[in-house]
Amino acid sequence: MALNATGRVAYVNARLLDPASGLDEPGGVLTDGEIIVDFGPGLASLDVCLCDYTQVVDCGGHCLAPGLVDMRMQLREPGDEHKETLAIAGEAAVAGGVTSMVCLPNTQPVMDDAATLEYVARRARQIGLAKVYPYGAATKGLQGLELAEMGMLAASGALGFTDGVRAIANAQLMRRALSYASTFDLMIVQHPEEPSLVEGGAMNEGELATRLGLPGIPVYAEAILLERDIRLVEATGGRYHAGHVSTAEGLAVIRGAKERGLPVTCDTAPFYFGLNELTVGDYRTFAKLSPPLRGEDDRRAVVEAIKEGVIDAVASDHAPQDQDSKRRPFAQADFGGIGLETLLPVTLEIHHNGHLSLLETLRLVTEAPARLLGLDAGRLRRGGRADLTLFDPYRPWIVKADEMVGKSRNTPFDGRPVQGRVLRTVVDGRTVFTRDD
């Protein structure tokens, strides 16, 4: 599905951004096949000798950066292709500037064996859009009863272990998982909600939930599980990562763990710094997420934690659902919202609102997640893979659910004005997406 064959390409007249090295200057990138041959400010001009290059791309002064690395998203293939196929997920990803995405293991069948991991990786290579890397299941069948074969999964390419949208609730099992994963220097990725406090809940517990007559999920459900897990990290020394952190209480626990020098990291999603519980409005099921959208104080706490560096990365938390799953009474609707196409523009709000520089903001979705996962991605490197995104950080547009590239339409950002538009995405030297409007 590439728009041009692999060849020698010169990208010139760009604002070159590389968060890993701190580069932010006019410049360009030269690629040969799948590889970056050279980059830097000396390649800014169209006048540079480009005789040996089969294609010259004038970037028009727009931002040219490493392709985005999305460290938390859900695939629906195999098993739930009626919600989204791997090909459509790839199209949505590259439309959002994402060149590498790391998927949770909650497919059907579950990614708790080598065959399923290898199937997903092979299908992604055949499709040729965004690269797909899997997490392996922490427990067999994601049932939380018995550890999966972590050694086998690690050998098959798993970047870490998680039970996806389910918390690893059993403390003894979590202790063993942390110990075992540490032998492969891979991290356990937790969904930080104490299950017994979440069961039956539909949205953030509080005045709004009471007014709407919906069962609530308390904010302390996050902190309680995090506090338990941090004790287990202390005991085992295992690497621990908390996904989509959404509360001030939970962030306080993580902040304390980091201050003690523990191997603890975390991410959040644009939902949790871009929206609050008021988005639920009159029972808008597109805003039913897990964890739920929180109150304004928690949303602001997430922003502050990003500014302070307590939050290490931002992930899309992409969770496509079909219409039948969302067009139900709010309490019965499925959790989840799509996020691949809005990852960049909503994350850029951190910069536009004056909280971080453009490079610091971009690091959250490039170099930072790649470093956490040990991926050779998210940075410009001579001899590295030519995975690039060209974007205009200031171009305004309005998110419209019915215009999303993906098969599912369940975006909680529907109708939101944003700034930041991807113009071109390059994977392994191939242009796989361009935008003309």
Active site (annotated) includes residue 312:
no
Q: Parallel, antiparallel, or unpaired: how do β-strands 240-242 and 264-268 relate?
A: parallel
For residues 374 and 159, the answer to whether their CB atoms sit within 8 Å is: yes
3-state helix, strand, coil in the chain (%, to 5): 35, 25, 45
Torsion of CA 151, 155, 158, 163, to 10 degrees: -20
For residues 188 and 177, the answer to whether their CB atoms sit within 8 Å is: yes
- In this structure, what token pair is assigned to residue 393? 């950080």
Helix (H) or strand (E) segment spanning residue 254: helix 248-259
How far apart CA 192 and CA 165 sit, in angstroms, is 9
Unique residue bearing structure tokens 């360009």: 28
Length of the chain: 437
For the chain, first and last CA: distance in Å? 20
- From the candidates 298, 317, 387, 414, give the one annotated as an active-site residue: 317
For residues 342 and 418, the answer to whether their CB atoms sit within 8 Å is: yes
**Enzyme catalytic residues:** 317
